[in-house]
Every structure is written in structure tokens, then in C-alpha cells.
Amino acid sequence: DPTPTATPGMRVEGGFIRDALNREVILRGLNFSGDHKVPPYFDFHTQPDVTRMRDDWGFNSMRFVLEWVALEPQRGAYDRDYLAAVRQRLDWAHAAGLHVVLDMHQDVYGPGFLGGNGAPLWTCDASRYAAFVPAAQWFLSYLDPNVTACFDDLWNTIALQDAFAAAWAVVAAEFADHPAVLGFDVLNEPYLGSASLDGFERDLLQPFYERVVPAVRAHAPHWLAFLEPSSMRNLGWPTTLSPFPFGDVVYAPHSYDNEAEQGMGFDPARRQAILDNMAALATEARALDAALWIGEYGGQTSHAGIVEYMTAELDAADAQLAGTSYWHYGRDEGYGVLHEDGTEKADVLGVLSRPYPQRIAGTPTVWSFDSVGGVFELRFTAAGTAAPTVVSAPERHYPGGPRVECVGCTAVVEGNQVLVTATSQGAPVTVRLLRR
């Protein structure tokens, strides 16, 4: 079944997302998208734009950006037209065979702070917005005392947390039956406010998640919970989150190079730091009994070293058997995968659109891709199901389809995918894709 059509039956077990046929599911895709942050809260996309994510680029998932302010502009008044427009785009994703992770996004708390997005105006005192002075670099605006005060209100006011949970519950009730939705990313890059580095996750963020997740699952019990560490994890601070009192958790940190994010481009000497950080994230995921999925990675596509940067990120994710979602599917000269005129950024998509195992009928040992030679290799031990392993083989890397070497298996090429069937359960399997 090369195309996923429904999410019920998905679960997290043994450090991986697994489907109803007990195959390990690897999510690779794009964030959809940056312009969802601002009115009218949707981007340029039509149904063919969504379809090309799978047909042209080989992705199987998207992280769908939602805005609390768009959902609940006035307290207790939910915008049904907004939900209807979201449903239309989820329908497009389902038709394309894409899994969707719904993400309640925020940057610098909310639009009350110039350049921010996320929380509605009514969630914080208007005097805080009036006194705000934006920083030259947007992310330094988090340090403004007024932004800090609004986050402190969120983390310390149960009524406000209940309002946030209620908004998520509305989303869950609306889309619980939608076959495209795999799960929910509770809050993008939670900022600690004035809390201590040591205490924020333990004393504030963990209880927050333990309040919100049950509220969502009261309506959508089968949704996977994609839970992020503090935004300080982006600066290298290890998470102090502990195992949750509920299952089906996906650890959902982000992975960015700090120097590149400050506009300095990517120094290839930083490759090892990317690999090491991803290994540390995988260790944290195992400690949480969670799967690992990088909810954001990406870079300024016009900056020096972008190809090496994105190659390092994906090599690191492959090494840790992790899913990823690139920021973002937009038309711009920044992070977007398309230019402003809608044409592809061929160098960037050449890196992102690479082969990977979408579903593995067994336990993977390793997979890797040599972008120069065009060789993809997957090794796994067949177990638990006779359903095929599905490998994405994008045409841009394998014009006319790949040549397949299969040890312990048989393989069939169908379009831009390879379906692999093990010849013996419990035996090792090696699959190689090569250019013709």
C-alpha cells in the first residue's frame, strides 16, 4: 500500500511510529507554511501544489501551521470559516496521500507584538503590547520584558491554559475523523519567560502538556502527541522533560545551526556539530520512550553553504532513523523551497527530495544516501508483517526509476516508490537503489 490513506491504528512503540500493519513509519515533509502565520492565515497553495509534495518531491507528510488568533480571535468565539478552510486543505493532503501534523504555532508570543504570531490579543494585557520595542533580529524580541510577562501569564495562569486547551479541543472535535491527521504539535518553540533553565520544563512545560494532551484526546484519542522541548533546546540546552503519563508521544525538537541562523551562512566545519546534536536528540527521545521527529530544520537558501547545511541535517536524521519536516513550503528568497515567481529552488530541493524509507516492515539497522553517487542503502531485519517495505525513490535522483539490488528480498518499482518484500521473516534484508 504505497499511499497512506488513514491514520487510525497508528501508534508509537519501540521508538518509532508504527502503522496498523506493524511497519515503522518515517515522516519526511515540509512545513505548510510560513504565511499561515499572518492574515488571511493561508498561503498561495491550491490542490496541485499539495499533490506535488508527494508526486514531484517524494514527501509523505506536512506540518500544518495553525494560529490560535485565527481560530479564536475573541475569547470563546471560534471562527468556523477558518476551520472550514483548514478542512479543505486537509482534504487536499488526504487526496495526495500525505500525513498531517497540526501545529499550533507561535513566534514572540502573538501578533500583539510587532512581527509576532500565535496567541490572540485578549490573552495578555494591552499595555504589554503598547510598551514593546522590537529587536533588530526578530528572535531577540523574546527578551523584551513585555513578551516575557505574557509568557509568564500563560505558564502560571490555569484559566489561560484551560482556554488554550479548549481551543485545541475545538480543533480536535472538528478534525478527529479526518483521515489525513496523524497528530498534533501542542505549541511551537515554547519560551520559558522568566522561569529558570533548570525549572521551566519540569515545573511549567511538563504540567502544561499534561493538561493539554488529555483535553485533545478526549475528542481525538488516536492522535499522536508531538511534544517539543523548550525553545532553549535550539541553543543546546538538553531537555529535562520526563516520560509522560500517556503513550503515543513523538519527541519533536527543532534543528538549526546557530551561526547560520544569525546570517553567517553555513560553515561545513559545523557538520559534525549537526551530527552530534542529532545524536543527543535521539538519546533524549529514547529517555522519553518516544519516536524522534525534527519538526523544523532549514536555512536561508541564498546563503553560502546551504546545500552542505541541508545535507548535514538529513544525513544526521538518517543516522538516527528520524523523521523531519523542512521549514518551509513557501515562495520567497529566504527559507522557502520556491522562488518568489513560483519556480523551484533546484539546489535546495535536490537535497531535500532524496530517497528514504517511508514504511519499514521490520526493525531498521541503518539507512543512508550518497548524493554524489546516488546510492541509497537500507538494512533492516524483517519482522512482524508480510506487508511491503516502501522506499521513496524521487525521479530527480533516479530518472526512469532506480536500479534495485535486493538481498533477502524481492523488489518492485512503482512510479517513484520501491516496494520491498522480505523472503524470510526474522532475516536481515539489504536494499540498494542505484542510478541507471
Q: Is 72 exposed, middle or buried (0-12, 13-18, 19+ CB in 10 A)?
A: buried
Per residue of the chain (436 residues), give pLDDT as tens.
434 444 558 999 999 999 999 999 999 999 999 999 999 999 999 999 999 999 999 999 999 999 999 999 999 999 999 999 999 999 999 999 999 999 999 999 999 999 999 999 999 999 999 999 999 999 999 999 999 999 999 999 999 999 999 999 999 999 999 999 999 999 999 999 999 999 999 999 999 999 999 999 999 999 999 999 999 999 999 999 999 999 999 999 999 999 999 889 999 999 999 999 999 999 999 999 999 999 999 999 999 999 999 999 999 999 999 999 999 999 999 999 999 999 999 999 999 999 999 999 999 999 999 999 999 999 999 986 779 999 999 999 999 999 999 999 999 999 999 999 999 999 999 999 999 9
Helix (H) or strand (E) holding 61: strand 61-66
- Determine the Cα–Cα distance for residues 343 and 22; give it in Å rounded to an integer: 39
Q: How many CB atoms lie within 10 A of CB 242?
A: 11
Distance CA 376, CA 146 (A): 50
Continuous segment of H or E residues that includes residue 272: helix 271-287
Say if CB 402 and CB 433 are below 8 A apart.
yes
Residues constituting the chain: 436
Nearest by Cα to 361 from 276, 424, 281, 422: 422
Calpha distance 263→121 (Å, rounded): 31
Helices (H), 96-188: 126-131, 145-156, 158-175
The pTM score is: 0.96
Rounded Cα distance, 226 and 253, in Å: 9
Residue 8: per-residue pLDDT: 59
pLDDT in the model for residue 4: 41
Q: In terms of C-beta density within 10 A (0-12 exposed, 13-18 middle, 19 or more buried), how is residue 135 classed?
A: middle
Query: Are residues 404 and 431 in contact, defined by beta-carbon separation less than 8 angstroms?
Result: yes
Q: What is the model's pLDDT at position 7?
A: 53
